[in-house]
Structure 1
Amino acid sequence: MSTKEKEETKAKIIAAAKEEFSEYGFEKASLRRICSKAGCTTGAIYFFFKDKDELFGEIVNQVLIPVQHAVAEHIMDDKNSISQNFSDSDFEHEIALADKLVDILYTHRQESIMLLTKSAGSSLEKAPDMIIAELEKEYGELATVYAKQEGKKVDEYMVHWLSHLHVEAYIHLVTHEEDVKAAKERTRKIMLFLVKGWLDCILM
């Protein structure tokens, strides 16, 4: 099999797998049905992928990896400015992150929905929880600085809850809103709400 033929076969497998995972979810997806749709043998799948989980990861990592990188960059920016005083304007970068995440999610919307709603049973089914944990750690550090500035204590429950709400907002958006322009408009309102809530509710 030539390099071109390998690339074409792999592309057919991935296209068929997207349909299969989108319809049945990871757990109920069948490699045999994927082969049938792709017009190849199971041997062809195992030539490119170790198992069904690796095939699923190949697809959804198109969205997961860019999201992780965007969140990591955002966290680094926050850490570089963690000693500054806090105000609504200090969180404009939250809006910038929101726009970036919407672009990623909607560029790969099918993969996003697969990751968020069809990944049960795969090694990536806890991906949203991983991102929540990263945000909670960051927001906890920011809240500690903010609390010292205000002479108050951190409400750890609210930091945890707002971190969940942050991620859940994107999950609801990408699974319910098809238009990316409308998604960005809604995301800006959501982020303004979350930022205001963060400033008002994380201290006690």
Structure 2
Amino acid sequence: MKDEITESIIECGKNEFLENGFEKASLQEICKKSNITTGAFYRRFKSKTDLFETIVSPSVLSVKNLVSSPNDDVPTFIRKVLKGKQDEDTLLNFFEHRDNIILLLNAAEGTKYAEFFHNVAKSMSDVAYKYLSSMEEAHEISEEELHIFMSSYLQAIFEAVVHAQNKDEYRTYVENLNKFYNWEKILTD
């Protein structure tokens, strides 16, 4: 269980990272806003990097779980994307992790997560390509082309997270993105 000081550091750290990005975020400022000394900070976190990773790790795990499957099967999320369907729970989960998605998109430079979404898109396109290759009715599409489409689709989904002010607005953005991408047409023509 996290204590109040740890919770305060996490909240102040998240705000500092959102405002300044990881590289420009000030540990002194985080401590000042948390009303603690740097010694109190270091009793709870090894470094600024450790704090950042603590903040984003639940969202990282959530996103990674979408594109991986323990039994080497195609994850439901990818199947639904390729069929142009929405996975309502998944989409709302992205919005629930909104601040962390923004951190990973816009504030992760200087951390191991700087290329996080590119790596997710790569994993997702690899799994999708394998899945599509096994389907007889699928349109032939190159791995590179699928990666380009998948990367731009994920970027658009996460941009919707950044710009939407509430869940309903986000849901509308995603519905329109699915119409725009029209995966079924791309993959069957």
Write out aligned runs for 1:49-68 (5 A). Answer: 49-68=45-64
Q: What TM-score does the superposition give when structure 1 sets the normalisation length?
A: 0.78
Aligned partner of 1:95 among 70, 77, 86: 86
**Structure 2 counterpart of 1:191:** 178
Compute the displacement of 1:69 (Å).
1.7
Contact 2:129 2:143 in 1 (8 A): yes
AA partner of residue 160 (structure 2): L
SS state at 1:161 partner: helix
State yes or no: 1:124 paired with 2:113.
yes
Compute the displacement of 1:198 (Å).
3.7
Q: Deviations over 1:11-62 (max 9, x none)?
A: 1111110111111110000111100000111111111111111100111123
Contact 1:20 1:34 in 2 (8 A): yes
C-alpha change, 1:10 and 1:75, in structure 2 (3 Å) is same
C-alpha change, 1:26 and 1:152, in structure 2 (3 Å) is closer
Which runs of 5 or more structure 1 residues have no equivalent in the other structure? Answer: 81-85
SS state at 2:3 partner: helix
**Structure 2 counterpart of 1:83:** none
Quick check: 183-192 or 35-44, which moved more?
A: 183-192
Compute the displacement of 1:150 (Å).
4.8
- Paired with 1:115 and 1:151, the residues of 2 have a C-alpha distance of 33
Higher-Rg structure is 1
State yes or no: 1:158 paired with 2:145.
yes
- Paired with 1:19 and 1:165, the residues of 2 have a C-alpha distance of 28
Compute the displacement of 1:197 (Å).
4.5
C-alpha change, 1:115 and 1:151, in structure 2 (3 Å) is closer
Work out the percentage of aligned pairs sharing the same amino acid.
25
**Structure 2 counterpart of 1:168:** 155
**Structure 1 counterpart of 2:3:** 7
Which runs of 5 or more structure 2 residues have no equivalent in the other structure? Answer: none
Measured on the aligned residues, the alpha-carbon RMSD in Å equals: 2.8
AA partner of residue 46 (structure 2): K
Contact 2:21 2:103 in 1 (8 A): yes
Hey, which of these two has a bigger chunk of helix by percent? 1
Contact 2:139 2:186 in 1 (8 A): no
C-alpha change, 1:144 and 1:13, in structure 2 (3 Å) is same
